[in-house]
Chains A and B, each alone.
Chain A
Amino acid sequence: QKEVEQNSGPLSVPEGAIASLNCTYSDRGSQSFFWYRQYSGKSPELIMFIYSNGDKEDGRFTAQLNKASQYVSLLIRDSQPSDSATYLCAVREVTGGGNKLTFGTGTQLKVEL
């Protein structure tokens, strides 16, 4: 069973600070990595994806991937109260039947005023 691990939190950060969310995965064959944000009672929405080792920046968000360590992270700069949500890490693997996404259980982020 392929696994994607996240700390459930809650992770509390003050407004304006950097929030750092982490994710580890067990399958070395994993090819693509995704971060979804989910507000309470709502559906997940994609915020970032990364395929190659290193950093990828999009506005206040930076995804970091280290395939050797099987580790992917999401940094949120200048955190805002509206960033308070659960962040889901997802990993894509190619199986015999095709592509498959495996999700972590999510990290709850609370941005405090």
Chain B
Amino acid sequence: EAQVTQNPRYLITVTGKKLTVTCSQNMNHEYMSWYRQDPGLGLRQIYYSMNVEVTDKGDVPEGYKVSRKEKRNFPLILESPSPNQTSLYFCASSKERGEEIGEQFFGPGTRLTVL
């Protein structure tokens, strides 16, 4: 089954404790992206990757890191989480070519709470 998986689905942590949210897709997509979703603010892009070893900042990259060492995986790293990073996070992937970039498949989401 074609899908994007994220882990963990739910996480409660404390300020300053490093964490990683994993994202994996089995569709051989070149493009992967991380979003956060907050009430009233919609989906905001954190980082995206056009292919292996190619990453770029989205609209809200501060406090986050990513890496793309393999085509299927795109982990999101919070080196020192803060309460303002409490949010619902989505990973998404799509083909990179042309219009298909917009036909993104989303993972199930990770609800993160930073105390």
Contacts and interface: CB of A to CB of B under 8 A. Distances in A.
Contacts of A106: 42
B56 A99 contact: no
Interface of A: 1, 8, 31-34, 42-46, 49, 51, 88, 90, 92, 97-106
Contact of B102 (A32, A104, A105): A32
Contact of A43 (B33, B56, B101, B106): B106
Interface of B: 31, 33, 35, 40-45, 48, 50, 56, 58-59, 90, 96, 99, 101-104, 106-109
A42 B37 CA distance: 11
B42 A46 contact: no
Contacts of B102: 32-34, 46, 49, 90, 92, 99, 101
Given A8-B40, A31-B99, A98-B56, 13 more contacts: A33-B102, A34-B103, A43-B90, A43-B109, A88-B42, A90-B102, A92-B99, A92-B101, A92-B102, A99-B50, A99-B102, A101-B101, A102-B59
Contact of B50 (A34, A44, A98): A98
Nearest to B107: A43
Contacts of B109: 42-43
A103 B90 contact: no
Nearest to A99: B101
